[in-house]
């Protein structure tokens, strides 16, 4: 199978031509060890690799490239990914950047709905003196996060807690400088219109099965009580949900600041207790 064959296969499957070209080279490089520059110069070289052919066929069924390769980069760090975790996305790096910006030296950060652990890892890697706590409801997902942080040499500064972020998991006097979360916020209606690849990602990490606000609301209501006096809460949410999140924040005595994504859309919010 050649790179050109894979490009054609992926394009026929409905993947955009530019994406098909880059993905064909990524797949071929992963299974043959050939660098991207070599493959760019030799698109018609035939590679008799059954694994490559199987991977290309799988991708043509819109199975996520990231799951096939098994790793993906977030904030310059490598993360193992599987169907137990959402695939880290560039827009979420903006949430991580906000968390890093607000985490003080020797601070503490709580990552609710941690998934692959990518946000917690980005903060701990960037703010070397801080301590983290990563929470996820699903044991297999939390194990994946713990393994990722271990591989990055960060697990010694992070506590891993299996629990439900819609309940209070901490003693009343436990406080964090930063509480960050990328919770399930896709609405039930929106789930029907998502790209085919998202059907392979864990649905419970994408949607609350309703209006997309129930988990966000609980996190704000409960975890505002676990912010340090000058602490901030940083939440990812859908671009249509900003007004609703602002209203929830104000109902809970918190200020609201928008986080914009690279396309100029609202991607999340920074909440603080009003003085």
Dist. CA 224–CA 237, nearest whole Å: 17
Residue that the structure tokens 């909440």 belong to: 271
Backbone φ, ψ for residue 66 (5° rounding): -65, -40
Residues 113 and 244 in one domain: yes
261 pLDDT tier (thresholds 50, 70, 90): confident
Residues 133 and 258 in one domain: yes
Residues 53 and 163 in one domain: no
Do the beta carbons of residue 2 and residue 43 sit within 8 Å?
A: yes
Residues 129 and 207 in one domain: yes
144 pLDDT tier (thresholds 50, 70, 90): very high
Residues 123 and 183 in one domain: yes
Give the domain-ending residue among 30, 61, 92. 61
Residue 74 lies in a domain: no
Over residues 130-159, the mean pLDDT reads: 98
Task: Give the pair of three-digit tokens for residue 227.
Answer: 């912010």
Residues 166-208: pLDDT tens digits? 999 999 999 999 999 999 999 999 998 899 999 999 999 999 9
Residue 99 lies in a domain: yes
Residue 76 lies in a domain: no
Please state the separation of Cα 267 from the chain's center in Å.
13
Residues 89 and 181 in one domain: yes
Residue 251 lies in a domain: yes
Residues 232 and 140 in one domain: yes
Residues 113 and 225 in one domain: yes
Do the beta carbons of residue 137 and residue 164 sit within 8 Å?
A: yes
pLDDT at 79: 98
Residues 56 and 111 in one domain: no
Residue 27 lies in a domain: yes
106 pLDDT higher than 90 = yes
Going by their DSSP bridges, the two strands 108-112 and 176-181 should be labelled as parallel
What is the domain count for the chain?
A: 2
The CATH number of whichever domain residue 252 belongs to comes to 3.40.50.150
- Is the CA virtual torsion 191, 194, 199, 203 positive or negative? negative
pLDDT at 263: 80
19 pLDDT tier (thresholds 50, 70, 90): very high
Residues 90 and 7 in one domain: no
pLDDT at 262: 78
Residues 55 and 143 in one domain: no
Over residues 45-71, the mean pLDDT reads: 97
Task: Give the pair of three-digit tokens for residue 253.
Answer: 């005595």
pLDDT at 264: 87
Over residues 60-72, the mean pLDDT reads: 97
Residue 71 lies in a domain: no
Residues 108 and 44 in one domain: no
pLDDT at 244: 96
Residue 217 lies in a domain: yes
Domain ranges, residue 242: 83-273
Residue 33 lies in a domain: yes
Dist. CA 165–CA 45, nearest whole Å: 51
């Amino acid at each position: 199978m050649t790179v050109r064959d894979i490009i054609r296969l992926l394009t026929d499957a409905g993947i955009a031509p530019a994406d098909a070209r880059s993905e064909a080279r990524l797949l071929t490089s992963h299974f043959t060890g050939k660098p991207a520059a070599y493959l760019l110069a030799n698109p018609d070289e035939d590679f008799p690799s059954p694994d490559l052919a199987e991977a290309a066929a799988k991708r043509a069924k819109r199975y996520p490239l990231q799951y096939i390769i098994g790793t993906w980069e977030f904030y310059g760090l490598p993360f193992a990914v599987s169907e137990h975790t959402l695939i880290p996305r560039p827009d979420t790096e903006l949430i991580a950047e906000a968390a890093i910006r607000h985490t003080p030296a020797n601070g503490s950060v709580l990552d609710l709905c941690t998934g692959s652990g990518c946000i917690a890892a980005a903060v701990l890697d960037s703010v070397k003196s801080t301590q983290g706590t990563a929470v996820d409801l699903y044991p297999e997902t939390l194990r994946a996060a713990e393994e990722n942080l271990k591989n990055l040499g960060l697990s010694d500064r992070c506590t891993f807690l299996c629990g439900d972020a819609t309940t209070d998991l901490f003693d009343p006097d436990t406080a964090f400088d930063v509480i960050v979360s990328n919770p399930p916020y896709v609405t039930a209606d929106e789930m029907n219109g998502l790209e085919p690849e998202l059907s392979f990602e864990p649905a419970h990490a994408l949607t609350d099965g309703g209006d997309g606000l129930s988990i966000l609301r609980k996190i704000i209501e409960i975890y505002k009580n676990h912010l340090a006096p000058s602490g901030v809460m940083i939440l990812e949410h859908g671009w249509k949900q900003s007004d609703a999140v602002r209203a929830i924040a104000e109902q809970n005595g918190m200020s609201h600041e928008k986080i914009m994504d690279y396309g100029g859309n609202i991607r999340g919010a920074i909440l603080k207790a009003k003085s």
